[in-house]
Structure 1
Amino acid sequence: MKVDKKVKKAADEKELEILLSLIDTTSWIGWRDVTVLVLLYRTGIRIHTLTSLKEEHINFNEKMLVLSGDIMKNGKVLKLPLDDELLMLLERLMKQNHEVRKRYKEKNDYIFISKSGKPTLNNYSHNNAISKRINAYSKKYGLSISPHKIRRLYATNLVRKKVPLAIISNALGHSSYEVTRNYIEIDADEVVDTLRKYL
C-alpha cells in the first residue's frame, strides 16, 4: 500500500523578507549573501547548482539564467528568467568578485566565491560555505530558513500563481511530477477557498 509522504515545510516568505532586511549589504559578503537568497527565491535552483554557477550561465541580454547540463542534477539544460533587480544584484556582485579575485590572485569565474576568492562549491550541498552561511543567519536571528526551504517556497508560490505542474516540475529540474508534488505545500484553508470558486 502506498502512503503519501508528508510535505516538508517551505520557508516563510515574511521570515525571508526579515532576513533580507537584516543583512548588511554595505559589505561585499553581505551583498553576496543577499544575492544568494534572492536568486534561490526567484529561481528555485538547488544550492549545489547555485554554487556551480559561472559568469557564462548569466545571459544579461536575454535576462536569463542558462543552466548547462553539467551543473544540473538531472543533466538537462534549463533556462530560467531573471528580473531586473536580480540582474542588477548579479552584475554588481560580479564586479566586486573581480576585485576580490585580483587581490588574492585567484583565477576562476564562479559567481559565488569565498572571502579569499575561491569557489564555495563542494560535493556536499548541505556542507558548503553558502549553506553554512544561510544556516548561521537563520540560527542567529531565530528564523527557519534553509536553501531547500526556499526552493520549496518557490514551488509553492508557482502553484499559487496557477503555473501548470509540468512547468513547475521542469523549472525545478525534477525527474517526475511525483517528486514535485512532495515540494508543494498548500494549507487546508487555501484548498477550500480555491474549491469554493468551482462550486
Structure 2
Amino acid sequence: MGVLCDFLSFLQVERGLSRNTVQSYRYDLEHFISFLSGQGCRPEQATQTAILSFMNYLQMQNRSARTRSRKLAAIRTFYRYLLQEGRIGLDPTENLTSPKLERVLPRVLSVGEVELLLSQPDTRTVIGLRDKAMLELLYATGMRVSEMLSLNTEHLNLDLGFVRCLGKGSRERIIPVGEVALRYSREYLSRGRLKLRKNNWERALFLNRHGSRLSRQGFWKILKGYARRAGITKEITPHVLRHSFATHLLENGADLRVVQEILGHADVTTTQIYTHLSQGKLRDVYEKAHPRS
C-alpha cells in the first residue's frame, strides 16, 4: 500500500484537499486495489481491461451510477499521479468514459421550513445559543458544514459583517453575513463560547461540550434533532441549508455569478443546478395563477 500512501499524502500536502476528501479517496482506492489483488495484480500493473473489470464488478453489485462514477474519478486521479511521478509509462484510464448520471436535484427546504428549523434552539441555554448562531450563520452564508466548523474566531468579522472562509483546494473567499446571523454570533461569543471554552488557547469558533472544536458528526446529530423537533419530514442532509440558501437567493433575483462566488464553485455549471430548482418554483406559481395553464 506504499504507493497509495504516497498518493494520499500528495492529495493532502500538495493539493490541500480536506481530510474528509482524502479519506474518500482512500476508501475508493482501497476497494479497487483489493479487487486487483484478488486478480493477482498490483496497481502499477493494472490495464484498462482490469479497470473495466472492476467497473463491471461494481455494476453487478448494483452500485449506483454515481458511486461507480466517483470511484472511476478516484482511480483516474490516482493513475494520473502515477504517470506524473514516472511510476507507470501509460495511463490505463485514458479514454475511459464515466457512467452516465441522472441529474439529481438537491433537497431544499422552503423558506417557511427554514424559519421553523432556525426557531428550534433555546437561546436561553449555552448550547442552544451556540446552535442558533451556527444555523443562522450557515443559512446566511451558504458555507459548507466543514467550512463553518473549521472557522476560528478571527475568521468572523462582526464589525464589518463578513466571514473569511477557506474552501476546497484551500481557496479563500470573503462572504457577507446578514444582521440576524451577526446578532446571534455576537451573543454566542459574548455569553456562550466563553462558558464552553476550557482552554484560553482554543481558537475554534464553535465548540462542543468538552471545549474543543465541534465535529461534523456532532453537527449532523444536532441538525437532525432540530429537524425532528420542527416536524420536518424531508430527509435532512448536512448540505440542506447550503442548498436552500442558494435556491432562495436565486428565487429572489440574485445574479448566478454572485451566488457562484459566494458558494465557492470553481465552475458556474455547478451553480446552475439551483436554477433548475427555482425554475420549478416559477412553473408551480404559473400553473396555480394562470387561468389557462
Matched residue type, 1:108: E
Task: Give the superposition deviation at 1:77.
Answer: 1.5
Greater relative CO, 1 or 2 (CA 8 Å, sep 6+): 1
- Corresponding residue number in structure 1 for 2:131: 33
Equivalent residue in structure 2 for 1:19, among 105, 117, 120: 117
**1:155 corresponds to which letter in structure 2?**
A
Equivalent position of 2:182 in the other structure = 87
Q: CA RMSD in A?
A: 2.5
Whole-Å separation in 1 of the counterparts to 2:253 and 2:138: 20
Q: 1:92 to 1:193 in 2, by over 3 A?
A: closer
* Secondary structure of residue in 1 paired with 2:183: helix
TM-score (norm 1): 0.81
Identify the residue that residue 158 of structure 1 maps to in structure 2. Answer: 249
Give the number of equivalent residue pairs: 185
Q: Which residue of 2 aligns with 1:186?
A: 278
Matched, 1:77 2:166: no
Equivalent pair of 1:74/1:175 in contact (CA under 8 Å): no
| Aligned residue type for 2:167 | M
2:198 is equivalent to residue 98 of structure 1: no
Alignment match, 1:56 = 154
Q: Structure 1 residues 192 and 53 mapped into 2: Cα distance closer, same or farther (>3 Å)?
A: same
| Higher helix fraction (1 or 2) | 2
Secondary structure at 1:186's aligned position in 2?
A: helix
Is 1:10–1:152's contact at 8 Å kept on the other side of the alignment? Answer: yes
| TM-fit CA distance, 1:140 | 3.9
Gaps of 5+ in 2: 1-98, 287-293
Q: Distance in 2 between matches of 1:59 and 1:34?
A: 18
- Percent identical pairs in the alignment equals 25
Give the C-alpha shift of residue 193 in structure 1.
6.2
Unpaired stretches in structure 1, ≥5 consecutive residues:
195-199
Verify the 8 A CA contact 2:260 2:271 in the aligned structure 1.
yes
Instruction: Quote the Cα distance in structure 1 between the aligned partners of 2:128 and 2:100.
Output: 45
Partners of 1:142 and 1:193 lie apart in 2 by 25
Task: Provide the TM-score with structure 2 as the length reference.
Answer: 0.57
Alignment partner, residue 197 of structure 1: none
Higher Cα Rg, which structure: 2
Are 2:214 and 1:120 equivalent residues in the alignment?
Answer: yes
